[in-house]
Chains A and B, each alone.
Chain A
Amino acid sequence: MNMIQALNNAHKVAMERDGDIVVYGEDAGYFGGVFRVTEGLQKQFGKTRVFDAPINEAGIVATAVGMAAYGLKPVIEIQFADYIYPGYDQIVSEVAKIRYRTAGEWAMPMVIRSPYGGGIFGGQTHSQSPESLFTHIAGLKTVIPSTPYDAKGLLIAAIEDPDPVIFFEPKRIYNGPFDGHHDKPVKPWAKHPASEVPEGHYTIPLGKAAVVREGADLTVLAYGTMVHVALAAVEENGIDAEVIDLRSLVPLDIETIEESVKKTGRCVVVHEAPRNTGFGAELTALVQERCFYHLEAPVERVTGWDTPYPHAYEWAYFPGPKRLKKALEKVMAD
């Protein structure tokens, strides 16, 4: 399965088990979404459990608040993460805060799914990585898978979670893993071990990172598309680096990070979002706070630039193995 199929399958498995799950979003019903993640769900579960929504992200999120208050479990799709902003007030001021301000009288179990990130020549409004705008908000969980296997297990876990989860799907790797070399065609997931996705129910716990490559000299912290870029950069440079796929940013698997950095003594953080106050800043601070006496070099950040996402300059913007290689070498040299 590719990631799209794995996510589709996760919806099916979850919806068959729980009749309270409803799925909606722009084009998500009859057509199954512009990326086809919800394809076939309306046919299987009916129009009142899976439906098209008006183009109104604030409305989509706010109605999900009402549904969650009733006791349903909305799984909503925001067509592109770049279009989540009209719904941002609802997410930040309502979804995130309702359990707290009602001392648990109401909870907001919902999943807000959205394709995010660059690498598809989508220009500035189809390429952004806004994860840190959500990790900054108490009351939300933020999850980002990097493989089909994880995507399914994490989405089911997110749906079954009692709290609201922002689930960002890296669209650059919907159809196949990406090694950062844009001049090479994308390999389909089919030959990748993580495309072996079991049919039935399984979950990957939120807050549990994966060590996707073991190594002794350096720790690379990555998530989403950048996991694949990191693996490529590490393999190509012959550095014995440990690559950690965070999988969920909130809750964060601090134990795995701490253990790895204490072992390797070096750390590089990579994400495609801009650097300034990006999630990398948080990771760097945490590593600094918890592993300072074990560090042999300052923590490096490899990120997108602090500019809007430029259409034609996509590949000079998007962090690739080249940018990562420099950082790996720099950290190893210190």
Chain B
Amino acid sequence: MRDKDNPKKANRPELRLHVPEPPFRPGDTPDFSSLKVPAAGSTPRPDIAVAAAEIEPLAKGLVRVLDDDGAAVGPWDPKLDADTLRKILRDMVTVRIFDDRMYRAQRQGKTSFYMKATGEEAIATATAAALDREDINFPTYRQQGLLVSRGYPLVEMMCQIYSNKGDKLRGRQLPIMYSSKEHGFFTISGNLGTQFPQAVGWAMASAIKGDSRIAVGWIGDGATAEGDFHAGMTFAAVYNAPAILCVVNNQWAISSFSGIAGAEKATFAQRGVGYGLPSLRVDGNDVLAVYSAVRWAADRARSNLGATLIEFFTYRAEGHSTSDDPTGYRPAGEAKAWPLGDPIERLKAHLLALGEWDEERHEAMRAECDAEVRAAQKEAEKMGVLPEQGRDNIESMFDDVYADVPWNLVEQRDQAVSEGRD
């Protein structure tokens, strides 16, 4: 008898499979009024030496600093000076313009693929501001803001996107899969989750060597389902690794909502508590909250108090990538209905409220960023766009597989070069 042929027991309830469904599908009117958004400033800020179990509510709540009027309130207010705030604002605006232009470049056939971070700009840029320049990130693919904030030349980013002659990765990686050791940005892998435990390994090494630098690992809400997420937390907890573990919960993983990664049952931050990692859930569209939480976690790591898990709660306002049409699985107006607003608009409102900004300066700054991105694009396109690439320098394809080129690759290189010639 096969197991599925088991006779039903009349006195026992029939088992049923639960398959989570997002609250809204195409055609529905999105309404996030049931989402619990705690008031800005209402979440306590514990001492960095706190034990994970003591602050479990912080893994369920939401650290917020900016209120609806653009005022910074509560214990998590990092009290940043206006220059720092303006720098983060500028970085966010640059990222958004950069994304738009590169998205368009893909649509014009200049490259194969692009991924925007629209709506999530605060997370990477405010994190970069809160870290030490020497700290390293093990990013996933929506943290271009880390590079922009650290001044990685836009031209180099674009050359990578175009896989052109100026691409220092030599045409090997998909567009957006940057790598820059100098900017503390570990090579992006297409394989989800892999960077998370790698960041922990770097942090362990830093501790082994008595260094003072810390590592930040990044993962998406969908990718937290991967075993690597749990490997990262296990090693971080076991070895007290000086790491910050960041989950970017933008609600969607391609067409699957966060419930398919388990968000119906527990927040992503709550997962850290079981490992003994102090864990925070943070308004990811609030620059001040992001900055402050990362600073708190960095202080913990630097004081040998170990790793912190941070869930940034945000919304992916655009498609997953240029290959995705989100209207197939969610209502078109959902991003607009998102209750935590737009991170750029929120920081702008804050600076305006402080009297440290005005519309004219904002417009001038926007225009400057736009000009900067356009100029970079022109420069990058001088070195070619994807459809023109891969014909010259064919022999370079065989470099860097190993430190030395073995006989089989020497033979294949000759063959490929001769094929390219005929």
Interface residues of A (CB under 8 A from B): 20, 26-27, 29-31, 34, 47-48, 51-59, 69-72, 82-83, 85-86, 121-126, 275-276, 305-308, 310-317, 322-323, 326
Which B residues between 93 and 132 are near A, CB-CB below 8 angstroms? 112-113
Given contacts A85-B191, A121-B386, A311-B171, contact A316 B3 (CB under 8 A): no
Q: How far is the CA of A322 from the CA of B394 in the complex (A)?
A: 15
Q: Is the interface of B mostly helix, strand, loop or mixed?
A: loop
Q: Judging by beta carbons under 8 Å apart, are B226 and A124 in contact?
A: no
Contacts of A58 in B (CB 8 A): 227
Asked if B84 is at the interface of the complex by the 8 Å CB criterion, the answer is: no
B1-23 interface bits toward A, Cβ cutoff 8 Å, 1 = contact, 0 = none: 01111000000000011010100
Contact stretch, chosen from B55-63, B241-249, B250-258: B250-258
The answer to the question of B328 belonging to the interface, with a C-beta cut-off of 8 Å to chain A, is: yes
B226 touches A86 (CB 8 A): yes
In B149-182, the 8 Å CB interface with A consists of: 163-164, 167, 170-175, 177
Selected from A51, A55, A305, the residue in CB contact (under 8 A) with B398 is A305
Given contacts A121-B112, A275-B408, A322-B422, contact A56 B227 (CB under 8 A): yes
CB neighbours of B255 from chain A (8 A):
27, 30-31, 34, 52
Check if B174 sits within 8 Å of A54, measured CB to CB.
no
Query: Does A312 contact B174, Cβ atoms closer than 8 Å?
Result: no
The answer to whether A71 and B409 have CB atoms under 8 Å apart is: no
Chain B residues with Cβ under 8 A from A305's Cβ? 397-398, 409, 412, 416
Nearest to B262 among chain A residues (CB) is: A54
Known: A51-B19, A82-B190, A86-B227. A313 touches B171 (CB 8 A): yes
Distance from A202 Cβ to chain B, minimum over Cβ atoms (Å)? 27
Are B253 and A313 in contact (CB-based, < 8 A)? no
Nearest B residue to A322 by beta-carbon distance? B419
- Which of B19, B21, B171, B260 is close to A48, meaning CB atoms less than 8 Å apart? B19
A-B CB contact pairs (8 Å), 5 listed: A27-B254, A55-B223, A55-B256, A310-B390, A312-B386
| Cβ contact within 8 Å between B19 and A310 | no
Contact, CB under 8 Å: A123 / B174? yes
- Bound complex: CA of A326 vs CA of B227, how far in Å? 46
Separation in Å of the B24 CB from the closest CB of chain A?
12
Interchain residue pairs A-B with the least CB separation, the first 8: A125-B190, A312-B171, A123-B174, A54-B225, A31-B255, A312-B163, A71-B4, A121-B112
B contact residues around A276 at 8 Å (CB):
408
Contact A55 B397 (CB under 8 A): no
Task: Using A306-B409, A311-B112, A316-B390 as known contacts, say yes or no to A31 and B191 having CB atoms under 8 A apart.
Answer: no
- Cα separation A57 to B19 with both chains bound (whole Å): 18
Contact of B40 with A by CB under 8 A: no
Contact of A47 among B19, B113, B386 (CB under 8 A): B19
* Contact between A56 and B226, CB atoms less than 8 A apart: yes
**Closest A residue to B398 using CB positions:** A307
Cα(A275)–Cα(B193), bound, Å: 29
A123–B190 CA distance with the chains assembled, in angstroms: 9
Residues on A with C-beta less than 8 A from B163 are 311-312
CB distance from B389 to the nearest CB of A (A): 4
A72: nearest chain-B partner, CB-CB: B4
Binding site for A on B (CB under 8 A): 2-5, 16-17, 19, 21, 25, 112-113, 163-164, 167, 170-175, 177, 189-193, 222-223, 225-228, 253-256, 260-262, 323-324, 328-329, 386, 389-391, 394, 397-398, 401, 408-409, 412, 415-416, 419-420, 422
Q: How many A-B residue pairs have CB under 8 A?
A: 153
Task: Tell me which residues across on chain B come within 8 A of A82, comparing CB atoms.
Answer: 190-191
CA distance A82 to B397 in the complex (A): 20
Q: Which residues of A contact B227 (CB under 8 A)?
A: 56, 58-59, 86
Known contacts A51-B19, A56-B226, A126-B174; A315/B256 CB under 8 A: no
Across the interface, name the chain B residue whose C-beta is closest to A54. Answer: B225
Within 8 Å by CB of B253, from A55, A306, A310, lies: A55
Chain A positions within 8 Å of B193 at CB level: 55, 86
Q: Which residues of B contact A310 (CB under 8 A)?
A: 170-172, 390, 397
Given contacts A55-B222, A310-B172, contact A316 B394 (CB under 8 A): yes
Within the complex, the shortest CB–CB distance from A303 to chain B, in Å, comes to 9
- How far does the alpha carbon of A59 sit from the alpha carbon of B230 in the complex, in Å? 13
Contact between A125 and B401 (Cβ–Cβ < 8 Å)? no
Report how far A211 CA is from B52 CA in the complex, Å. Answer: 65
Contact between B17 and A55 (Cβ–Cβ < 8 Å)? no
- Asked if B171 and A306 make an inter-chain contact with CB atoms under 8 angstroms apart, the answer reads no
List chain A residues, Cβ under 8 A from B226: 55-57, 86
Docked CA distance A57–B415 (Å): 37
Partner of B225 from the list A48, A59, A126 (CB cut-off 8 Å) is A59
Q: Which of A58, A86, A125, A312 has the most CB of B within 10 A?
A: A312
How far is B347's CA from A37's CA once the two chains are assembled, in angstroms?
43
Task: Report how far A237 CA is from B336 CA in the complex, Å.
Answer: 59
Cβ 8 A contact of A311, one of B19, B173, B323 = B173
Residue of A nearest to B17 (CB): A48
- A30 surroundings in chain B (CB, below 8 A): 25, 255, 329
Complex formed: what's the CA distance from A306 to B172 in Å? 14
Task: Tell me, in angstroms, the Cα distance from A83 to B172 when the chains sit together.
Answer: 18
**Residues of chain B within 8 A of A26, CB atoms compared:** 253-254, 256
CA distance A57 to B25 in the complex (A): 26
